[in-house]
Structure 1
Amino acid sequence: MTPKRKPLTKLGYGFVPEEYLPKGADEYHFRNQQQLTVRTYRQLRDDEIVILNRNGNYSPNWADVWVTDRFLPEQIQQSKFYGRVRIGDMEESFLDFRDLQLPIGIYNSVIVSSDIGGCNAIHNVRYLAHFILGEEVMLFNINEMETSNNAKFGNGILKEGDAESSLIQLELCNENGGRAVLPFEGMQASDVYLWTRQRHDRVLQSRFREITFRRFDSHRGYYSVVGHRTVIKNSHTIKDVKIGTDAYIKGVNKLKNVTVNSIAGAYTQIGEGCELVNGIIGHGCRIFYGVKAVRFILCSFSQLKYGARLINSFLADNSTISCCEVLNSLIFPAHEQHHNNSFLCASLVMGQSNMAAGATVGSNHNSRGADGEIIAHRGFWPGLCVSLKHNSRFASYTLIVKGDFLHELDIRLPFAMVSHDVANDCIVILPAYWFLYNMYALMRNNAKFISRDRRSLKNQHFEYDVLAPDTVNEAFVALREIEIAVGKAYHPAGNPSDWAVKGKAILMDTTIDLHEKEILLDHVENSKRKVVLIKVREGYNTYRRIIAYYAATQLKSYLDTHSVAELRAGYLDRPGRPERIEFENVGGQLIRKPDLDDLLDRIRNGELVEWEAIHQQYHLLSSQYLTHKFEHALAALLEIHELEKSALTPAYLDACLAESVATKEWICREIYKTRAKDYRNPFRQMVYENEEERDTVVGRLEDNAFIQQQQEEYTQYAESVKAIHLLQ
């Protein structure tokens, strides 16, 4: 394509082709609707035009430069104006932001058909076209700011006359695009999760697309917007953007087709060397130092930094990605990935996850086609230099030890450690590893993720507790898996339907030494290699213990505000046995499967026709979650102890609570014990001259804030259990 010559008097006019103008509307129709401040404009007086010309300014049509009665022509210097330009109130002041001090006015800039807000300081903007600026905006040293007449600001929509091929989609979870979604401002991880699932359901998929298109106007003619008090400096290209208030943007190479959400209490900052194209950025985000992001959504209070590459991906709230590369992935809240040599591709990672250095999760180079996927539930932690193969699936809080895993994996035991025994050519799984050997790190996550949740409006409940309906359900699965494995090991020729019963009996009989048998787990790796379970009885008993503890703590929370009589009337005297219902992690929010099915049915049948209505259902289910969680815990209590409701007498409930106090004490003891190992390890000690230097560098064990906090929580928990009088 070559440049076209047109009359200079036409510059700044004809922004929207006539065929796309609404009937009876002019090219300023939508621009006028977008105004950030209501004010009255007038045309320039002759004396003001004289001053403007004397100051080196130029316009082929001064009659189309409109100002307010608080206009100061002396503060417009060496600038050019084309098309209809409207300038807000001015005063003899300067704006000061982080040592950048700029006089209010327009200096050494080219302005094309734009609205300049009140008390703006615009300096050295080489080209500003079709923008609406808020109040007290600072623009300094910017090469190009322009807007297309069919700008979409990062949303996956089509404007009138657009080709279908121009539609922006996020190709998530799979590189072949088979799970693509249309991004939109306000999109939540829950929306994306629902859309990427059930791709065979054409009615549901069609509804998602219709709801998204209905959300936006297909007309052309919307201007880019920069909100009040936003500062942009030393940047190259900014095109088709909608930027909120109080944002700070400096040194960017390119912002194109992007929405940047920002407000005073949660301002977004974008820094040097960044190139962000076709994206939506949430409130309170930090993006700086050479980040490259294309076709992406970054949710509120998340960070991209130090050269991170985020492509065709969705990163949910309170997450951080540094240095590394993430492609075609859907990531739930509270994800951490910091190392330059980690790689994440074609994955669904369900939050509270941590990617170690050298981890390669989802490379399709070890598959025949670029169509594999990995699903990792909460707390996923692939260790140093781990390589995983599509397709694989991991239960919650799976820790994977260093190694190249050349075959597909299906890890169904939560809180397990998975290691590659190269010498014996087998997989080794240690069930309930985190509770047995690293309680400090596991329980620290609870407090860490809650403290990092900076959302000001938490109307969607994100579950951060390691013990919740999803992980407890997985623990029940693990119990049966272990029972079957043990039963098969001791009775390989027996009836497979009897393995679970026989295995449970063996596990409960402490006179039987399980070390005399090799316990193997089936259907874990897509190979003929063995998958060996170790610490089998310890892991099995730990799963039982944490299930009982989860149930008792939820019971205790209920009894803090309800009486035994209310418990009996509300739950125990009802007909039928409480059912332990399946929960699904929907973007960080746990939703009961029947409730989720009902929500999807209402979308299919057209009852819910807007994303806001769907979001309201998330919020409603969030408000009911603690009740649903308690009902699940009650069912889990009966199931783990193999009881009927009639057995839940005050005396039995009192015993359950007492047992939970003992488990809470065990957790505190293990937290201290696992951290104390670091202080007693002579190899850790050898880098210090003495214990005093060690304590100066890393702090005294006795002063550890997290250990002290846990001890205080235990004391408070034990005292509050004593305050519940069940036997009176």
Structure 2
Amino acid sequence: MNNIKKKPLSELGYNFIETQLPKGKDEYYLRNEQWSRQGEYRRLLAHEVEALVRNDNSSDDWNNIFVSNEFNPQLVQHCHFFGMVRIGKLEPYYLEFHNLRLPVGLYNSTICACDFGDNVVVHNVNYLSHYILGNEVIVANVNEMATTDYAKFGNGILKEGESESGRIQLELCNENGGRSVMPFDGMLPGDAYLWTRYRDDLQLQQQFKAFTEKQFDKRRGYYGMVGDRCVIKNCKIIKDVTIGTDAYLKGANKLKNLTINSSSVAASQIGEGCELVNGIIGYGCRVFYGVKAVRFVMASHSQLKYGARLINSYLGNNATISCCEVLNSLIFPAHEQHHNNSFLCAALVMGQSNMAAGATIGSNHNSRGADGEILAGRGFWPGLCVSLKHNSKFASFTLISKGNYMSELHINIPFCLVLNDEHDNRLKIMPGYWFMHNMYAIARNSWKYVDRDKRTDKTQQIEYDYLAPDSVEEMFQGLAIMEAAVGNAWYALPENTPKKELTEKDLRKKGKELLLQQPEEVARLTILVKGMENSSREVQLLKVHKAYALFRELIVFYGMKNIIAASKPSFLALQAAVKTAKRGEWHNIGGQLMKAETVNLLKQKIRKNKIAGWPQLHEQYIEIGKEYATDKLQHAVASMLEIKEVSLKNFTPALLAEWLEDSTRTMEWIAHNIRHSREKDYKNPFRQLAYDNANEMNVVVGSLEDNAFINETLNELGEYKNRVRKIINEWEL
């Protein structure tokens, strides 16, 4: 039975706060803290009350209507007021936005205990309750817009008198709730990542909960806010929603328990048919066309479109999800998912990722409970109709070819193509695929994400380069795997049967020798690995002799590129900057790369309350970001020297000059492969089938010569060569 309460009409608009008020406070005390303009209002004059009554307005008590000196009663018509209402300046103008033109004033609306700024437009609002509207706000054709005294605006907190069962949590990365976090306004991808990891560190987890609890007031009675110049039209239900300035809400079905961040430089928009419940929406977000989102956080400048469903998930900055379903996932910045039949469930996706049509990342119920997870490094790209099984883990920039992968995968070499070869009944993995066959795509992705980073608040310094500490560490791991696999394949030949049991070190030594000195011999071997698929079938590595050489060359190039970027004045200055250079583990903390020891120190400070809240943690992100270039330089030099097998003390100007010259050839190779991999699209006769001639193709897809990214790459090549020549000359190498 519906619990419909019947109360005296005289109470409508009053007794907003249902719990006991603090001593000496009335029900408006928090409202007055939120709206500091109450001193600008006065009571209505007798002739103003008469004018309002003539205009078919009513109030339970005209003494509770307060107005500014520039109030015009003729601009209030057919309205019913309950409780205390304060109305700002009303002047004989109309406001226009996107061809919607409406006169300033309040018309045909029921208004219950609200405050209005200057020159607002309120038209046909059936029920507007306990809201504070800023200046020049337009609200038109809204069924219900109300705030409750326990409104939390999407934050995972509890108000006075509420039980724990009422807390909103995001069940990220796992459907069983074992990695749940409490959402809060201002939550960064790094916050969500740190909170979902390290679940066995109870002290750390308790601190994160305490950070969130103390960031928000538990008192009841806050009003919903609508910032200046907001436009809200043709919406059905808006309940417990606070909205920043310059937001545009049109045709939404239901908006409940939300914070919608918006500003004049990063305006957010919500469009037709959307239903959003229990969420935080960042600055500059776009939500359009039938989206359903429940228990979610959208970081700044992210987008949901075309019927997408986002549930129990965090969507990182500059990410777009269209037409598909995403559940229980933590997604780092720069994620693309555009297809109606793609599905992502219980996943940690570390950014710069792209989900193709038909990709099913998380057919989750393959264990005895819904507790599986997918962990994917940067650049994760499952291709058309890929189906993956939990639990699986992927290194950075893994491309997965079309297929149904029946077993769990652990792909721990980066830049791979993963292929399910049903004919041979083998899993085949090609390390370095991107460098050999699609340099255009991987280089352009790094470029476009920098270009499309629209964040106005860059607290976290996000790494977009495909050659960075995290991916390079994985490349070293890949080198070791390839060496051991080659050694094992060579000794597996009957003529090479070893006379003693071989260790991992023995296998790697032989494999490295063959890869460096006899790559043509390696090309003839069938190279198998173990531990990458949870099955009894064979897993084969392809083109290892090419990938191994490319990994080594690109690691050296990574070192050279960072030396050049550091812009040191001399070789001695470079030596001083890298005197403590070393390799080590790095972590991707929400798109921001940090050394493992930095993360450990961060956790230690949190445990000891030296970092006592989310704002202080965000300050630490900024400080760590300031040190990133230095840390990255040290890592790059250490990585380069390890490949070259030269110690830091034996690193001489002559060696640097030689390697700088070599790096220009690597840069030339990269530029050539970027153009070549794109050029194949123009020379492919099947690509040309859709066009009558080459001119038509150039009009439709653009000519190769006019490709902005390729031309930018050629410019960078020229600039790189100039900087190398400048360093060699100025440092007298």
| Shorter-chain TM band | over 0.9
Distance in 1, Cα, partners of 2:578 & 2:454: 36
Whether contact under 8 Å (2:520, 2:545) holds in the other structure is no
Q: Give, in angstroms, the shift of residue 38 of structure 1.
A: 5.7
Q: What is the match of residue 489 of structure 1?
A: 489
Q: What is the match of residue 4 of structure 1?
A: 5
Q: Does residue 628 of structure 1 match 2:635?
A: no
Q: Which aligned segments of 4 or more residues in structure 1 are displaced greater than 6 angstroms?
A: none
Q: Give, in angstroms, the shift of residue 515 of structure 1.
A: 3.6
Distance in 2, Cα, partners of 1:569 & 1:139: 62
Work out which of the residue numbers 525, 535, 555 in structure 2 matches 1:527: 535
Q: Mean alpha-carbon deviation: is it higher for 274-283 or for 677-686?
A: 677-686
Q: Give, in angstroms, the shift of residue 727 of structure 1.
A: 3.0
Q: Give, in angstroms, the shift of residue 368 of structure 1.
A: 2.9
Q: What is the match of residue 525 of structure 2?
A: 517
Whether contact under 8 Å (1:37, 1:134) holds in the other structure is no
Q: What is the match of residue 402 of structure 1?
A: 402
Spell out the pairing of 1:645-684 with structure 2 (5 A cutoff).
645-684=648-687
Q: What is the match of residue 81 of structure 2?
A: 81
Spell out the pairing of 1:238-387 with structure 2 (5 A cutoff).
238-387=238-387
Distance in 2, Cα, partners of 1:88 & 1:404: 63
SS of aligned partner of 2:48: helix
Whether contact under 8 Å (2:519, 2:545) holds in the other structure is no
Q: Give, in angstroms, the shift of residue 18 of structure 1.
A: 4.5
Q: What is the match of residue 495 of structure 2?
A: none
Distance in 1, Cα, partners of 2:299 & 2:226: 20
Q: Does residue 604 of structure 1 match 2:607?
A: yes
Residues 184 and 377 (structure 1), Cα distance of their counterparts in 2 relative to 1, 3 Å cut: same
Q: Give, in angstroms, the shift of residue 685 of structure 1.
A: 1.5
Q: What is the match of residue 615 of structure 1?
A: 618
Distance in 1, Cα, partners of 2:572 & 2:403: 55
Distance in 2, Cα, partners of 1:129 & 1:524: 58
SS of aligned partner of 1:723: helix
Distance in 1, Cα, partners of 2:315 & 2:145: 27
Structure 2 portions without partners, runs of 5+: 493-497
Q: What is the match of residue 198 of structure 1?
A: 198
Cα deviation 1:91-149 (Å, max 9, x = unaligned): 11111111111111100000001111111010000000000110111010000001111
Q: What is the match of residue 568 of structure 2?
A: 561
| AA partner of residue 602 (structure 2) | L
Spell out the pairing of 1:153-232 with structure 2 (5 A cutoff).
153-232=153-232
| AA partner of residue 277 (structure 1) | V
SS of aligned partner of 1:56: coil
Distance in 1, Cα, partners of 2:456 & 2:173: 29
Residues 60 and 457 (structure 1), Cα distance of their counterparts in 2 relative to 1, 3 Å cut: closer
Q: Does residue 593 of structure 1 match 2:601?
A: no
Q: What is the match of residue 642 of structure 1?
A: 645
Whether contact under 8 Å (2:365, 2:372) holds in the other structure is no
Q: What is the match of residue 514 of structure 2?
A: 506
Q: Give, in angstroms, the shift of residue 365 of structure 1.
A: 3.2
Q: What is the match of residue 131 of structure 1?
A: 131
Q: Give, in angstroms, the shift of residue 522 of structure 1.
A: 1.1
Whether contact under 8 Å (1:556, 1:657) holds in the other structure is no
Whether contact under 8 Å (2:191, 2:590) holds in the other structure is yes
Whether contact under 8 Å (2:514, 2:521) holds in the other structure is no
Q: What is the match of residue 151 of structure 1?
A: 151
Q: What is the match of residue 732 of structure 2?
A: 727
Q: What is the match of residue 30 of structure 2?
A: 30
| AA partner of residue 656 (structure 2) | L
TM-score relative to the length of structure 2: 0.97
Residues 482 and 32 (structure 1), Cα distance of their counterparts in 2 relative to 1, 3 Å cut: same
SS of aligned partner of 1:561: coil
Whether contact under 8 Å (2:224, 2:241) holds in the other structure is yes
Whether contact under 8 Å (1:553, 1:657) holds in the other structure is no
Cα deviation 1:688-711 (Å, max 9, x = unaligned): 112222222222212211111101
Whether contact under 8 Å (1:115, 1:132) holds in the other structure is yes
Q: How many residues align?
A: 722
Spell out the pairing of 1:2-151 with structure 2 (5 A cutoff).
2-19=3-20, 21-35=21-35, 37=37, 39-151=39-151
Cα deviation 1:615-663 (Å, max 9, x = unaligned): 0000000011000000101110111111111321111001111111100
Whether contact under 8 Å (1:325, 1:343) holds in the other structure is yes
Distance in 1, Cα, partners of 2:53 & 2:164: 47
TM-score relative to the length of structure 1: 0.98
Cα deviation 1:131-183 (Å, max 9, x = unaligned): 01101110100000011110000000000111110000000000000000000
SS of aligned partner of 1:614: helix
| AA partner of residue 567 (structure 1) | L
Structure 1 portions without partners, runs of 5+: none
